[in-house]
Amino acid sequence: MLSALAKLLLWICGWTLLGEIPPLKKAVFIAAPHTSNWDGFWLIVYGFSFDIRLSILAKHTLFWWPLGSILRALGAVPLDRSHSSSTVQQLVNMFAEKEHFFLALAPEGTRKKMPYWKTGFYQIAVAAKVPIVLAFIDYEHRTMGIGIQIDPVDGIEVNLEKMRKFYAPFKPCRPERLGPVAFPPDKMTDRDEGS
């Protein structure tokens, strides 16, 4: 029922869905470009339209009753940002504990224009030994969907180039906030992938 409602909402709003959910039990999904609050909303609706449970991160302070129950129903996972150094390990542990786990993250980490992507999604995938699935939203053509799958074992440089090529055609909601697909220079060695 929820899947049908989500598809109806997307149709009414003029969105076309592309791609298919890959036959995986666990993966890190990244969604880009991320320049507006609407991006997260449409990602959740997209997940419901395919009847899959995408887990997203939310500040732990938002999990008060009744909002906490609503957020959990939407797939939100509480995150205590005061312990940022342990965030990657917390999520790696979730991958180990769950039989099925799709974690959806925005690699930019914010809606503001930034010079680099956050590397947390990549570190999580490396440590949890799961693939990264590239999801997209394109406001110019009103399309959203699932694209290619990448394996962190291929290395940072190779995978960044794949991500650059994949995301290049898609237009964000707020183009002036779009930053490059890049990692900070100090995170560009294979040594840092699992840190």
Question: Tens digit of pLDDT for each residue in 120-143?
Answer: 899 999 999 999 999 999 999 999
Give the model's pLDDT for residue 189.
Answer: 66
Q: What total of structural domains would you count in the chain?
A: 1
The pLDDT mean for the chain works out to: 88
Give me the domain span that covers residue 94: 2-192
Give the model's pLDDT for residue 110.
Answer: 83
| Residue 150 pLDDT level (bands cut at 50, 70, 90) | very high
Give the model's pLDDT for residue 195.
Answer: 37
Distance CA 179, CA 154 (A): 24
- Of 10-14, 75-79, 190-194, the poorest mean pLDDT is in 190-194
pTM: 0.86
pLDDT of residue 83 exceeding 70, the answer is: no
pLDDT of residue 15 exceeding 90, the answer is: yes
Mean pLDDT of 8-28: 93
- Of 7-11, 80-84, 145-149, 186-190, the poorest mean pLDDT is in 80-84
- Residue 120, Cβ density class (10 Å: 0-12 exposed, 13-18 middle, ≥19 buried): middle
- With a pLDDT cut of 90, the percent of the chain lying above it is 57
